[in-house]
């Protein structure tokens, strides 16, 4: 509370100090021991974005996911996002090769595609990625149906992305779609947060951490 005639509160105002203290708290409280070093760096950033130190218990990833996604970004791969909030949050200047960030959800063809395919607009929008899928980094931070649709496209012969960050959130299909990604028979590199938690902020944090050169 401000005191007397002073309208100032007492809090940390230095961005670098805030980051340092945040990451120190996360490392003190979160159980990160089971994570490989490159994945640990990513999960710390995901915890930072959601405020929950118990997140690592729900994290599962293929051993190659961070390396595969990072290599793809360095090679210029696009980041394909299911939601505009995910696309909006990715820090452009961190991307190593001026990488394109794609979200097709607002494309005018999507409503018709969704009706024709009998699925959600979030899922139908992925059809517009088809010619960019090969070697891409996919970031699904909102819609379980998008993640299921991606697996169906790949199962039916679509090109394979370099890595899939599968972090849809919610109560219908979220847990199931992430389990399906973790169980995928295609050898896809993946990162998931099992259960209902996920979302655009966590997904953006994962992409930004992977894109960053610092470890």
Residues that bind its own copies (CB under 8 A): 1-2, 7-9, 11-15, 18, 21-22, 25-26, 48-52, 84-85, 87-89, 118-121, 123, 144-145, 148, 151-152, 155-156, 169-174, 176-177, 180, 183, 185, 195-201, 204
Question: Which of 72/144 has CB closer to its own copies?
Answer: 144
Query: What is the number of alpha carbons within 13 Å of residue 148 lying toward its C-beta?
Result: 14
Is 48 among the residues known to form the active site? Answer: yes
60 touches 38 (CB < 8 A): no
Question: Which of 151/163 has CB closer to its own copies?
Answer: 151
Catalytic residue among 34, 48, 149, 194: 48
Q: How far is the CB of 50 from its own copies (least distance, A)?
A: 6
59 touches 35 (CB < 8 A): yes
Question: Which of 174/191 has CB closer to its own copies?
Answer: 174
Helix runs in the chain, H state only: 15-29, 37-50, 65-74, 84-89, 110-117, 121-124, 144-155, 174-182, 200-211
Residues with catalytic function: 48
């Amino acid at each position: 509370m401000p005191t007397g005639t002073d309208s100032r509160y007492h809090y940390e105002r230095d961005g670098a100090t805030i980051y340092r203290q945040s990451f120190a708290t996360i490392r003190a409280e979160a159980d990160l021991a089971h994570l490989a070093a490159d994945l640990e760096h990513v999960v710390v950033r995901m915890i930072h974005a959601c405020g929950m130190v118990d997140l690592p218990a729900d994290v599962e990833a293929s051993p190659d996911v961070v390396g595969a996604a990072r290599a793809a970004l360095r090679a210029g791969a696009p980041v394909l996002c299911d939601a505009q909030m995910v696309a909006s949050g990715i820090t452009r200047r961190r991307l190593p090769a001026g990488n394109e960030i794609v979200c097709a959800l607002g494309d005018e063809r999507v409503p018709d595609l969704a009706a024709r395919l009998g699925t959600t607009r979030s899922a139908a929008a992925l059809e517009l990625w088809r010619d960019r899928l090969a070697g891409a980094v996919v970031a699904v931070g909102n819609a379980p149906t998008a993640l299921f649709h991606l697996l169906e496209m790949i199962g039916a012969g679509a090109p394979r992305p370099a890595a899939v960050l599968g972090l849809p959130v919610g109560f219908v299909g979220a847990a199931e779609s992430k389990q399906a990604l973790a169980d995928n028979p295609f050898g896809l590199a993946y990162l998931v947060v099992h259960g209902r938690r996920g979302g655009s902020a966590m997904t953006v944090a994962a992409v930004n951490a992977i894109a960053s050169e610092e470890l």
